[in-house]
Structures are given as C-alpha cells and as structure tokens.
Structure 1
Amino acid sequence: MSTEEEARKLDEADPGHRGLFRVPPAEGGAYPETAYFAGNSLGLQPVAVREELLAELDDWARLGVEGHLAAKRPWLPYHSLLTAPAARLVGALSSETVVMNSLTVNLHLLMVSFYRPAGERTRIVIEDSAFPSDSYAVRSQARFHGLDPDAAVVRLETQEILDFLATEGETVALVLLGGVNYRTGELLDIPRITAAGRAVGAVVGWDLAHAVGNVPLRLHDWGPDFAAWCSYKYLNAGPGAVAGVFVHERHHGGGLPRFEGWWSTEESTRFEMAPVSRPPSTVEAWQVSNPPILALTPVLTSVRIFDEIGMEALRERSIRLTGYLESLLDEIPAAEVLTPRDPARRGCQLSLRVRDADDLSRRLRVRHGVVTDARKPDVVRIAPVPLYSSYHDCWRAARAFEEEA
C-alpha cells in the first residue's frame, strides 16, 4: 500500500480546497481532524456561511420588513441571485432553473405536470435500487391517479432500462431515475436513457441528488423534460437545504397543469394582488411559495464556490482522488467494491460490500476518525469529495478499513 509520506506528497501536488470548509474534529484515532467521506449524505460547512447568515440576521434586526427592498441583498428578488450559478452547475439555461422547496416536494410538484397517465400509457419506470423516497413518491402518484402502484411502477435493474423502453415503451408515461445511484454510486447514462425514453413517447425526469456537484451535467443539451435535486450533499448547503428544479424550455409557457401560489405569478405584477395568476414563461411558473431567505443563504454561498472553481476542474480531481482510493482498496482482500470501475460510470463514491455495515462504519469513526456512512445491511459508502477530501484522508480510510474489515 502507498505510504503516508506518498499520500502527503500527492496532497502537495494536488491540494484541493479544504481550507474553504470546516472539517469536524476526529472522535478517535491519531489525527485531529476527521477523514470525512460522508459528503454524499451531508456535505461539510463552508467557512463563509456563518458570516453570510449573520449579515442577513443583522439586516432583519436593522430593517424589519424594509429588508425586502433595502437589505444589502434585497429579499424580494433574493432567489434570483442563485439562478445563474445553479443553471451553470447543471448545464441549463437560467430560464430553466430555479432553487426552491425540498427534493421530494419538487418531484411531486413536477409530477403534477409531467405524470399524466392515459390509456395504455400509465407506467412509471424507476431503478430497482431507487432511493426509498423516490419509490414512495411515484407509488403515491400512481395511487392518486387511481392506479395500482404494484402494476404501474416498474422497477428495473439499471442495465435493463434501455431494453425495456425498446420493447414496452408505449406503456410508459414517465421515466424517473437517479442520475447517480445512491447505493452503488453508479452514474447512469443520462443522455442515452433520456433520448431512448423520449423516442418512445415517455416523459423523462431525473433525481439528481447524488449527481449535482458530483459530476458535470448538460441538462439543456441532453433534453430531459425535468429534473430535481437537493443541496445538502455535494453542494454543502446544510442539513435540509433548499433544493433545485430544472424544466426544459420547450415546456415553458404551455398548457401543462401546475399547482400555483404567491411566487408562481409574474414578479412585475405580483403586488397588484390580482385574483388570477399570470405565470411567467420560465421555470419560475412552477414556484409556489416565497423563498426562505435564511435557508437560501447557504445555497448561495455554495453555488458561488462551484462557480469560482468550476465543475470540470472538480471532476478531474475527483477522478484522480477516487482512483487513488480505489487503488489502495484493491490491495485489501476484504474490500469488495460494488461501484463500477470505469471512472466515466461513477462519481466520487465507492460502495463496499461488508458483513455488518453499521458496526464497521462505527468502528472506522470511533477508532480511526474516518467518517463513512452505512446502508443496511451490508454496504459502506466512502465518498472522497474533491472540494475538501485529501489523498491523506484516502490513505487513512484504506488503512483503517484493512484493520477493521
């Protein structure tokens, strides 16, 4: 196995951006900071967040309601500060992107528009190992339309999806898949699956919770109908952070049904207090409520970091860093990696099959200061995040795994 000195030298040559984040202290082990590999569950806190939040609190204390127009960053149009950097992050037009709500709420709001079962076209395709919340959401949508979710929801292994669309596509109303599978770390072929779904007349949407901030995306060019993502994993915007939505421009200004509210009418006429909404011809027509300013602030801090560093540069470092961790694990007989070995088919997460995931993850943390997460019963996930993880972290993780597995 690579030595600690070799890992340190790699960090000198390829340092990342650890100084932008607050790394928790280690619970155990020989090092003061944790080797933090749980960014696929909750990203670390950016150093800048505290000052940014205090600025909003100060404006609230100083201005009260006048902060809507007079704050340093006026609250009334505040959400628009996030639009352009969020759009760049997902490869979309600004008119196609909005930061709002939480992930599953957004998926439901989007399915109001895009899951319209009719005739023989009633099925929803998801991956068999979809995140449970997605499974709950699509099953509840099927029931809402009077359908049997056991019949309407089709669960497929990822390698089965294209064949199923080719043979059964005329029965599919909606394809809704995770861009990066939460359990295995597999990066699905988003453009190819999108094209296949649309070719057979299905609507195609993506849950990008594990993809945004992890892999480069080109949503406008790839052409899915919609996508949604959370901001608390790789985007490091804090627990339960405000999420994001993409709706392709071909659906703007059309006749799709939507739920509406205070923020889904034109900004320029909002305070005319008219009884009938006048929705804009952008994704903002899908907004419902006014945005929570104190919750948006960490997201703004986050997307600015990605804007400054660039997703392509982070992806290149991710491939190097994850490849290094993989090479260390390859030397450990007990390390069974479930994630695809081809860097083009994964993000930064490596999933390991183990005997007791909860117990192993606990021992890595309390004995070695290595923070991973467990997915019961037998998967430990290790995510070397290119923004703040180091080669030395990877070396620590591999050495700890060798001792404990």
Structure 2
Amino acid sequence: KCFADNAYLDSGKMCRKPPASLFSYAKLHKDVTSALQNIECRVCGDKASGYHYGVHVCEGCKGFFRRTVQLKLSYKYCSLNCRIHKRSRNKCQFCRFRKCAVVGMSHTGTCFLHYPLLMSCSSKCVVLYIHAIVLPPKHLGGPKSHLEHLYFKGCSTNVVLIFFLQPFIVHNMASLKAAQELLNSIRAPVAPFPTPEPTGEMELSFFRQVQFRQVEGVQQVTEFAKSIPGFVDLDINDQVTMLKYSAIEALIIRMVNFTNKDGILMGCGKIFITREFLKSIRMPFCEMMEPKFEFSTKFNTLDLEDCDLALFIAALILCGDRPGLLNAKAIEALQDEVLQALDLQLKALHPDSPYLFPKLLQKMTDLRPLVADHVRIIHLMKKTELDVCLHPLLKEIMNDLY
C-alpha cells in the first residue's frame, strides 16, 4: 500500500524506494490489488483498499466518508434503508453514510462511541447524531460536559453515538478575530504572530497566520517528492526547480479536499471560512481565493480518491517543461511512468468515467495561469501593503516565478 494509497495524506510514512531496475508503477498497482483482493469493503462489498477510519473499506467509500464529514454535506432523508453494494452505492447517499456509521467508521473531529453492554442485545442499530460547534478556547466546555451525562439504560438496540464537531464559522470581522484565537491555540510549526488589536490589521494578521500552514504544506510536498521513486537520483538543481514550480500547484490540489462552493476548511478542520466573507474583505486580499474556489468546485466534480490525487500531484512535480531544467528527458521519463500508473488507477477505480484521464491532463494546464495569478497578487501586496512580510521559504518560491 505504499505509494498511491498513503502518499498523499501521510507523506512522512512512505515505503522505501525499491531499486530503479525493479520498480514499475504498473507492477506496484497489480501487487497491491492482488494482496487486497480477499478483503471486502464493510460498506459496499467492493474490494477494500485498506484499513481506513477504523474499518476495512474501499477507496470509494473512504473518499465519500471523508468528504461528507469534512465538508459537512447533508443528504435528503431516506427511510427505505436501501441496500448498499458497489453497483448501487452512489444511488442513495443518505443510506450510504448511515451504513458508514453503522460499521464504525470514524474521522478526526468525529468521535464514535460504541456501548459494549448494548452490542450483544440486538442486531438493530440506532444512530444518534449530536452536533457541536468548535469554539475558541475561552468558550470551550459545553458540549463535552453534556456528552458525559448521556446514558442509555434498558435499550434493546445497539446505540452508536456520532458526535460531529462542526467547525467555527468565519463570516465577518468579529468571527475572524475569534478564529485567530482558535488558530493560535492549534499547534503550528513556528510561533504565530500575535493578534493585533486594530480592526484594519485583521486581514494582514490572518494572512500571516495562513502562511505558516502554507509553509508546512510546502514541507510536506517536498517530503512527498523525495519519496517518488527516482526523484532523488535527479540533478539536485533540477529537484529544486521542479519543487519551486510545482509547490503552489500541489498546495491548490491539496486544498480541493477542504473546499466546497460555500467556503473552505482551515486550522485542521476547526475553522470554516465562508466564500462570501472572503469576497467581502478589502483589496487585494479578496482577489486571492475566488479563482481557486472556481477551480476547486469544478475539480471536485471529478470525484477523485486520495490515491488518484497522490499520482496526480506526483505527475505535477515531474513536469519536464519547467524553465531551467538541466535534464528534462530523465524527468519526462519518470513522469511517463507516473502517468501510466494514474491511467491504470483511474480505469480501475472509475470504470464509468472513460474521459477522466484526459480531463486531469487538462487540469494540469489549468493550474499554471491560476498560480501565475496568485503570484501576481502576492507581488501586488508587497508593493501596496507595507506590513506584508512573506515567509522566506514562500519568498524564495515566488521569486522570478512566472
């Protein structure tokens, strides 16, 4: 389960690179599939790709569960208790998510509490949904204390309590200030800037704090790139060039999983910033996110899995047409291997979407003007916002980029 399955979400736990002469993305895909062919998805019965969110499930159900929880998706109620199997799993999303809950899938920010004394009473299951809002530190203490006093006595059914921690919603300047308190409480790679008092400085302070998450993301992309077989064998100058040009592209693709048409999740899923609020803040900050929302909304319609995104990001990194490359042919050869693996993966996981591969190739092209526009706005901010101070790593990436 090395490369495609785990690389995107947990780049620090890559499998070791096999010798170049023995490596084949196609062979890796075949070996992984064979090893898992006897394990069924607990939700739909398809072949499980691994142990995800506490249960053996397939890539499709893993991605469906992740998107539902992270993006707070709600589905039309269904009382038919539809049968969920691999051919019908997309027909009733309400029953599919209910099945995910019943089999015990859990997620960061979602706490599934099973009551052992009740598990042997009946094969039936009652699912209780409790929603709570994540608040800044000084407001914490409410939902958890209520949860501790919930008891279920004399029940003849299994009870699965699902506790959704809904993110703190930023929709105006006051909620942005409260969100900054929350971000300051979340562990960051470096100490955050102190929150300024004047309201006029809110955007700048928030921009600085977002930078720390971007820097962490760039570091993760770098570790991911080093895990791509053959990458570290390339000329060191070419490695730097590829990372310089692909870092922001990769961050945008990583952001897709946390974005919907209404806003974006930030701060480890604890803050949801509305799209309308981001459009309302002053220039040039308001220009920065809207093009990315448009891209993400269209990209999300492709309904890709994490392993698809891992291979797609690897292909982005290994583009042989970046300016200043010394050995473009070697890079293109590696990218061809990744693209072949991506094509195989898409055919295996998305048999009903024959044009998915060419659509992804087009997305690679669409990312470049998006990054160029991002860099333009950053340079504009450096000229008009005297207090803007880019992190040295981001400054190095954006220097002479497009």
TM-score, scaled relative to structure 1: 0.22
From the two aligned structures, give the one with the greater helix fraction: 2
TM-score, scaled relative to structure 2: 0.22
The answer to which structure, 1 or 2, has the higher relative contact order (CA under 8 A, 6+ apart) is 1
